[in-house]
């Protein structure tokens, strides 16, 4: 078995225009000061990282790694959640997602998609130059507006959407395969890949592509009322990244999973800082250890109540306390004897 790496932190929710959050050196030093050993970098945030330069320049990647090493943190993965979202956008969401793209392609869905695909290709090259094994992203969505089957969905609608989603992603995944990097999709409401079944529908259309993997985030499964522990047993071979994020679900006589269009604070299901929600992280870390997950445990902080910096500080302590240093021997080795095949046969009554 392998011991999980961590704690690490996803920087997207913390990057800002004021020091120390406005530069890679500043935010790396801040994270290390809280006890983090790794950082997951949002590839779209030029205050911290230049994706185009990283895809083309070993010297720049050496500089980035050097900054991180100087402050005692490693890069866990690059994230392209915003760009991955734009690989597939239903027209109903054009305006909502347009701001994720570069200014020059906004208002032009075809140009925006081409830009997103190129961003993913750059992310593959940058990940290779940085020596990373995994990359985290979103799948985008074509079928999401039809998540609830009313009016009844026309025959073949969902199949057509997933055929197209797989068609768009296959060459991207092939590019990641060429550089030996896994693409770990965060299964998330709003994406066509939002649970195990939809991941399987996608994977089947990709003929089990070896680079099609999962960024495991139990918060999204709790809010969908899924068995997030059993999920690990079923999909552990594809889980190559881990977002440690908490959530709670408190249904009432007035609202449930859909939460009546309420703000995050007033929803039945909402994200919380680590330890403040309902996710059983003790069981999660145990299951991942038992299934030989040896990559990073990365805090993704989202909470509608607690201060972000308090959440980050507490999150480092929480993850460190939950990482299991796996055993190198069995607890009953002291009572074991050497192999004696003759004795084994006698114990079985075989003479």
Contact at 8 Å (CB) between 179 and 125? yes
**Residue 140 token pair:** 């985008």
**Residue 343 binned pLDDT confidence (cut-offs 50, 70, 90):** confident
Beta-sheet strands, E only, within 273-313: 296-299
Contacts of the segment 334-338: beta carbons below 8 A, 24+ positions apart: none
Instruction: Look at residue 228 in the predicted model and tell me its pLDDT.
Output: 98
Residue 219 has pLDDT above 90, yes or no: yes
Question: Which pLDDT score is estimated for 334?
Answer: 57
Instruction: Give the pLDDT band (50/70/90) at residue 340.
Output: confident
pLDDT score of 327: 77
Q: What is the pLDDT of residues 283-329, one digit of tens each?
A: 999 999 999 999 999 999 999 999 999 999 999 999 999 999 987 76
Gap between the Cα atoms of 152 and 173, Å rounded: 33
Share of the chain above pLDDT 90, in %: 92
- In this prediction, residue 332 carries a pLDDT of 63
Q: What pLDDT sits at residue 70? A: 98
The predicted model gives 216-228 an average pLDDT of 98
Quote the pLDDT of residue 347.
85
Domain 5-347, second-level architecture: Alpha-Beta Barrel (3.20)
Q: Is the pLDDT of residue 330 over 80?
A: no
Phi then psi dihedrals of residue 124, to 5 deg: -65, -45
The pTM score is 0.95
pLDDT at 227: 98
Mean pLDDT, rounded, for 74-86? 98
Instruction: Compute the mean pLDDT over every residue in the chain, rounded to the nearest whole number.
Output: 96
Domain boundaries, the chain: 5-347
Name which of 104, 127, 213, 212 is nearest 168 in CA terms. Answer: 212
Residue 128 has pLDDT above 70, yes or no: yes
Please say whether the dihedral angle defined by the alpha carbons of residues 100, 102, 103 and 105, taken in this order, is positive or negative: negative
Residue 174 has pLDDT above 70, yes or no: yes
Predicted pLDDT of residue 344? 85
């Amino acid at each position: 078995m392998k011991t999980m790496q961590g704690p690490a932190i996803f920087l997207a929710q913390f990057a800002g225009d004021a020091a120390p959050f406005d530069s890679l050196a500043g935010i790396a030093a801040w994270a290390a000061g809280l006890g983090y050993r790794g950082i997951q970098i949002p590839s779209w945030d030029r205050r911290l990282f230049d994706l185009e330069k990283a895809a083309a320049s070993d010297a720049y990647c050496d500089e980035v790694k050097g900054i991180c090493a100087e402050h005692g943190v490693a890069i866990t993965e690059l994230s392209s959640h915003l760009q991955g979202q734009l690989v597939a956008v239903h027209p109903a969401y054009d305006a909502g997602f347009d701001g994720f793209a570069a200014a020059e392609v906004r208002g032009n869905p075809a140009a925006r998609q081409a830009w997103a695909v190129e961003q993913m290709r750059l992310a593959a090259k940058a990940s290779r130059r940085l020596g990373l094994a995994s990359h985290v992203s979103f799948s985008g969505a074509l079928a999401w507006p039809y998540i609830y089957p009313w009016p009844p969905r026309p025959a073949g609608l969902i199949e057509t959407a997933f055929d197209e989603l797989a068609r768009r992603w296959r060459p991207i995944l092939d590019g990641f395969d060429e550089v030996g990097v896994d693409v770990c999709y965060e299964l998330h409401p709003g994406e066509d890949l939002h649970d195990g079944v939809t991941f399987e529908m996608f994977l089947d259309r990709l003929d089990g592509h070896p680079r099609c993997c999962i960024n495991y985030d139990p918060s999204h499964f709790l809010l969908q009322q899924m068995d997030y522990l059993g999920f690990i047993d079923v999909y552990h071979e594809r889980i190559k990244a881990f977002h440690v994020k908490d959530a709670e679900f408190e249904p009432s006589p007035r609202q449930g999973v859909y939460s009546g269009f309420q703000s995050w604070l007033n929803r039945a299901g909402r994200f919380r800082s680590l330890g403040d929600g309902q996710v059983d992280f003790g069981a999660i870390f145990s299951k991942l250890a038992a299934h030989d997950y040896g990559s990073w445990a990365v805090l993704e902080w989202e909470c509608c109540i607690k201060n972000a910096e308090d959440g980050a500080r507490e999150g480092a302590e929480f993850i460190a306390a939950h990482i299991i240093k796996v055993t190198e021997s069995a607890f009953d080795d002291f009572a074991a004897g050497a192999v004696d095949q003759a004795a084994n046969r006698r114990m079985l009554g075989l003479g």
